[in-house]
Chains A and B, each alone.
Chain A
Amino acid sequence: MKIQILGTGCPKCHQLEQNARLAVSQLGLNAEVERVSDIREIMKFGVMMTPGLAVDGQVKSAGKVLSVEDVRKLLQP
């Protein structure tokens, strides 16, 4: 499972990345959490409002800093 955090680098993006990592460790998933900061890469996902979160290449959320709880709900099968 690959989780990508899409954002150019402001506090909100950091927060989302932290929450995502926490959710992953809480669920005990074997997932990779990656940060995408280049605008052109972010656009390839179709995301206009950062921060965004994609799971295995699919955008699941944009424009919101999801809480750890929210991320867990997304990741749970």
Chain B
Amino acid sequence: MDWRTQWKALLFLLTGFLVSFYLPVGSLRFDHAVLEAFHLVRWYAREHVLLCLVPALFIAGAIGVFVSQAAVMRYLGPRANKVLAYGVASISGSVLAVCSCTVLPLFAGIYRMGAGLGPAAAFLYSGPAINILAIILSARILGIEIGVARAVGAILFSVVIGLAMHFIFRKEEQAKAEAAAYLPEPEVRRPLGHNALYFASMVAVLVFANWGRPEQASGLWHAVYGVKWMLTSLAAAALAVMLVAWFGLSWRRALLAAVPVIGLALIFPRQPMIPFAGAVFMLSAVTSTAGGEMEEWFATSWTFAKQILPLLLMGVFVAGILLGRPGEEGLIPSQWVTRAVGGNSLGANLFASIAGAFMYFATLTEVPIVQGLIGSGMGKGPALALLLAGPALSLPSILVIRSVMGMRKTVVFIALVVVMATISGLVFGALF
């Protein structure tokens, strides 16, 4: 027996056995935490997946397919106007970094071959932070103020961080890359107005389907709530018309999709989830088999779904076990959370920023985790600080950034992210 080749198997079995032997089943806190995890998973599945995540996935897929990345890259390439480059870098994350692994080559490219360190740093920060799915889910689950603050904070501070990096390292000459940047020619696409209305109709579906019940039974908010499904249907109908008129979907397919949905709506007038689910199903069915751009759109959304939904499920489960639903206890006692990150002190915000910077969050998992933390007593300021520092950085990504920028610049970058996140948290916590 050669133990040198067997030690891993031994370790695995031993660990598994010890964990199972000492499993705290039967202890109140543990049992409750496990149940909380299941409660939370079910709540997400019922409340958020169909009405919120699925439309958001279609929107994200549409961005990937219909917004011309080549056109955006012109603003970040070697001949770009430097001032404009900052603005573009800070908001184009969603458009350019459609696949999360493209952030790093893009960053490296912009830094060495394109507009330079400043816009590259701005892009590096904002890319993961302005993930459209994350913003939508944050707004939905953590509240619209946090969703908006997250988006605004990410854009604003990416510019600040980019400028700061440029200023701090202005005396260093960039080693020019040997090759000229290869920028693909922007393909001729449909008019901007068509694209804009197409996105607007999908956003309208998302917004109206998720319109919340207000507390007062009067006023504009309530009036809209009363007719939300009518508005959702109108937006969906507009989308269908646009797909046929401008995006090449055959009217036969559109009709094939629309008829069952209308039927379901008439049969189940009091259960809007049913026709909504039917609409999602039919849209998927007719686009995934249509060929051309429609199929590309669906395929991109589907790829996102495959990448994101399993991780989100795991993230929700972990958040449930560790922190429980809002108002409930998980494995981590609420007092610990309140003491570390409750209120809006400098210490709380700083702790949240630093923890966020080094912790790894798979896409979207920061939302259920922050939700759990808020439910266990985390202040809103520190929550925003964590959301601004978390997705942008993690220990693995820091190591790769270091290989492109070098240790000094990486350390400064991290410090800037932590400082910006802390300040944003303090301000937000004070205002809300």
Task: Specify which of A46, A49, A61 is in contact with B96 (CB 8 Å cutoff).
Answer: A49
Rounded to whole angstroms, the CA-CA distance of A64 and B98 in the bound complex is 11
Q: Known contacts A43-B113, A49-B73; is A8 also within 8 Å of B180 by CB?
A: no
Residues on A with C-beta less than 8 A from B101 are 7-10, 12-13, 50
Asked whether any CB of chain A lies closer than 8 Å to the CB of B314, the reply is no
| Distance from A62 Cβ to chain B, minimum over Cβ atoms (Å) | 5
Chain A 10-33 interface mask (CB, 8 Å, partner B; 1/0) = 111100000000000000000000
Residues on A with C-beta less than 8 A from B303 are 11
Residues on A with C-beta less than 8 A from B178 are 44
Cβ–Cβ contact A48 & B110, under 8 A: yes
Asked whether any CB of chain B lies closer than 8 Å to the CB of A42, the reply is yes
Asked whether any CB of chain B lies closer than 8 Å to the CB of A47, the reply is yes
Asked whether any CB of chain A lies closer than 8 Å to the CB of B182, the reply is yes
Task: Specify which of A11, A48, A59 is in contact with B105 (CB 8 Å cutoff).
Answer: A48
Asked whether any CB of chain A lies closer than 8 Å to the CB of B415, the reply is no
| Distance from A13 Cβ to chain B, minimum over Cβ atoms (Å) | 8
Cβ–Cβ contact B182 & A62, under 8 A: yes
Rounded to whole angstroms, the CA-CA distance of A21 and B179 in the bound complex is 26
Asked whether any CB of chain A lies closer than 8 Å to the CB of B403, the reply is yes
Rounded to whole angstroms, the CA-CA distance of A64 and B106 in the bound complex is 14
Cβ–Cβ contact B179 & A48, under 8 A: no
Task: Specify which of B100, B110, B113, B404 is in contact with A39 (CB 8 Å cutoff).
Answer: B404
CB-based nearest A residue for B97? A49
Task: Specify which of A7, A11, A45, A48 is in contact with B106 (CB 8 Å cutoff).
Answer: A48
Cβ–Cβ contact A49 & B100, under 8 A: no
| Distance from B394 Cβ to chain A, minimum over Cβ atoms (Å) | 16
Asked whether any CB of chain A lies closer than 8 Å to the CB of B150, the reply is no
Cβ–Cβ contact A43 & B112, under 8 A: yes
Cβ–Cβ contact B106 & A39, under 8 A: no
Chain B 49-69 interface mask (CB, 8 Å, partner A; 1/0) = 000000000000000000001
Q: Known contacts A39-B108, A39-B403; is A47 also within 8 Å of B182 by CB?
A: yes
Contact sample, A vs B, 10 pairs, CB 8 Å cutoff = A7-B101, A39-B404, A46-B180, A46-B182, A48-B105, A48-B108, A48-B110, A49-B184, A63-B69, A63-B70
Chain B residues near A (Cβ < 8 Å) = 69-70, 73, 77, 96, 99-102, 104-106, 108-110, 112-114, 177-184, 303, 307, 400, 403-404
Q: A7-B101, A8-B101, A8-B104 are in contact. List 12 more A-B contacts (CB 8 A).
A: A10-B99, A39-B403, A42-B108, A43-B108, A45-B179, A47-B182, A48-B110, A48-B182, A49-B102, A50-B101, A52-B182, A63-B69
